[in-house]
Amino acid sequence: MQRVSNLSTSSMPWLGSGQTSTGAGILIKRNLNNVKRMTSHPFHQYYLTGAQDGSVRMFEWTRPQQLICFRQAGNARVTRMYFNSQGNKCGVADGEGFLSIWQVNQASSNPKPYMSWQCHSKTTSDFAFITSSSLVATSGQSNDNRNVCLWDTLVSSSNNLIHAFTCHEHGATVLHYAPKHQLLISGGRKGHISIFDIRQRQALHTFHAHDSSIKALALDSSEECFCTGSAEGNVKVWRLTGYGLIHSFKHEHAKQSIFRNLSTGVMQIEMAPGNRIFSCGADGTLKMRVLPNAFNIPSDLCDIV
């Protein structure tokens, strides 16, 4: 059986206008203008916010004041940001094609990045820290169609490109790294998925996954399967080995509007232990699905769309 849960703050009327329930207490609610991206620290109680105006700020969950402003307003819009797995670095990609990386433990309240370079000539849409974080992969859109790239952050920004893959007409939108297999998974504006082997630095496979731009991508912790979400709101689950379709959920996050061409569909996906998929989208909902064991499904069900 599949179970879907819709979560809404309207189901929690006891919360005040400036409070948010966590199940164990109340956290401060902050009003920040035009925040488009957020990410949390891997083990400390910190999180980053990235805004349309280009500003990037770090907060602690229980303190009202910001800890650090990594970027001021007036820069290019933030497209993606992450902490590395060790938590000592954070990276910010932007709409002008740049990627900037900071040391997290800063004495200054307005530090400069220790490295910043233009990865793609038009926009950098996503990136991933690889291995010890000295290697970084990026996805985006470049005039020469080198839309997925590998970089060495120990080398100067003028000479740090390791390899560039020519792929994804009109640009790559999302990227994920599979460390056990040392593979990169990327999605594009035309709905294609590409798989790259970073050891051999070659493309292994490309297939058409969606009829519109791929907006979200998540990987199962076992690296047996991955999940994609599209601009029209569809969610699909794929095998990482063989790339077969396991599950498909049409219009999971289709925005109901007379201006359907403005819908951004699926905005984010996370795969959690217990075959759980969390997704949110332009319809204003957060959904959780509990899937049956993906590899105990009769083979004739795997191709159902």
Look at 82-86, 123-127, 193-197, 299-303 and tell me which has the smallest mean pLDDT. 299-303
pLDDT tens-digit map of 136-153? 999 999 999 999 999 999
pLDDT tens-digit map of 149-194? 999 999 888 899 999 999 999 999 999 999 999 999 999 999 999 9
Confidence of residue 2 (pLDDT cuts 50, 70, 90): very low
For the segment 257-285, the average pLDDT, to the nearest whole number, is: 82
pLDDT tens-digit map of 213-245? 999 999 999 999 999 999 999 999 999 999 999
Does residue 6 carry a pLDDT above 60? no
Question: What pLDDT, on a 0 to 100 scale, did the predictor assign at position 255?
Answer: 65
Kindly report the number of other CB atoms within 10 A of residue 124's CB atom.
Answer: 31
Query: Residue 285: which domain range?
Result: 215-294
Amino acid sitting at position 151: W
End-to-end Cα distance, the chain = 17
Does residue 9 carry a pLDDT above 70? no
Does residue 25 carry a pLDDT above 60? no
For the segment 255-264, the average pLDDT, to the nearest whole number, is: 58
Confidence of residue 5 (pLDDT cuts 50, 70, 90): very low
Does residue 111 form part of some domain? no
For the segment 31-35, the average pLDDT, to the nearest whole number, is: 83
- Cα separation of 3 and 276, whole Å? 9
For the segment 62-68, the average pLDDT, to the nearest whole number, is: 87
Question: What pLDDT, on a 0 to 100 scale, did the predictor assign at position 109?
Answer: 76
Does residue 220 form part of some domain? yes
Does residue 283 form part of some domain? yes
Q: How many folded domains does the chain comprise? A: 1
- When the pLDDT of each residue in the chain is averaged and rounded to a whole number, the result is 85
Residues 6+ apart with CB under 8 A from 173: 125, 126, 139, 187, 188, 189, 213, 214, 215
For the segment 262-280, the average pLDDT, to the nearest whole number, is: 88
Tokens of 169: 């007409």
Most distant pair of Cα atoms in the chain: their distance: 59
Does residue 223 form part of some domain? yes
Concatenated DSSP letters for 35-90? EEEEEE-SSSSEEEEEETTS-EEEEETT-SS-SEEEE-TTSPPEEEEEE-TTSSEE
Does residue 90 form part of some domain? no
- Cα separation of 245 and 225, whole Å? 10
Global pTM value:
0.85
Does residue 243 form part of some domain? yes
Question: What pLDDT, on a 0 to 100 scale, did the predictor assign at position 27?
Answer: 59
Does residue 28 form part of some domain? no
- Cα separation of 98 and 119, whole Å? 6
Does residue 278 form part of some domain? yes
- Cα separation of 292 and 296, whole Å? 8
Question: What pLDDT, on a 0 to 100 scale, did the predictor assign at position 4?
Answer: 43
